[in-house]
Amino acid sequence: MCVIMRHRGAQMAPEVALQALIDSCDKREKIGVKYDAENDAREVFNLPTKKRIYEFIAGGGLEAVTPIKVENWRYNPKPIENPALVYSYNFYSGSLYGYLAIIFFQKTGWIMIKSFKKNTQQDPRNLAFKGLAALLGASEEGNKK
């Protein structure tokens, strides 16, 4: 479920903002990555440069993306002249459960990747338990036979 916080200015749907991000990554236009996000992408997702982050996103690397919330960028120095919203998402990449947050500057169309890291929330897929369940299931099948 996506939570939409109170915000200034017009807002686009999280799905539209995500598509804008994918387009910007594809064209390498009006897109940037915050220092910490670049380090996390390198460390966690094995994406060592901005170029590889953009290629990954433009190539459909973000799987099963779900929006979390939309809110005003609280550190915006010019909230009136240059309104900016933060869109956050959960996503998967293989076995990793990730968290993505982007700042969308409404006037300029610039997008800054604010966070690109491992999700601290519990993975709803519960892969470890699924593996265990599969093992237990197989064992029960074996016992029945």
| Residue of 49, 66, 126, 139 that binds another protein (CB under 8 A) | 49
DSSP 8-state code for residue 30: S
Residues contacting residue 134 through CB under 8 Å, at least 6 positions apart: none
Of 22 and 114, the one with the shorter C-beta distance to another protein is 114
Q: Does residue 124 contact residue 108 with C-beta atoms inside 8 Å? A: no
Interacting span for another protein (CB under 8 A) from 1-9, 71-79, 90-98, 135-143: 71-79
Residues contacting residue 141 through CB under 8 Å, at least 6 positions apart: none
Q: Does 27 bind another protein (CB under 8 A)?
A: no
| Residue of 6, 10, 77, 141 that binds another protein (CB under 8 A) | 77
Q: Does 117 bind another protein (CB under 8 A)?
A: no
Q: How much is the CA Rg of the chain, to the nearest whole Å?
A: 18
| Residue of 10, 75, 95, 120 that binds another protein (CB under 8 A) | 75
Q: Does 48 bind another protein (CB under 8 A)?
A: yes
Strands of the 63-72 sheet, one edge to the other: 3-4, 63-72, 84-93, 96-105, 111-118, 31-33
Q: Does 96 bind another protein (CB under 8 A)?
A: no
Q: Which residues sit at the interface with another protein, rule CB under 8 A?
A: 32-36, 38-39, 42-43, 46, 48-51, 75-78, 82, 103, 105, 110, 112
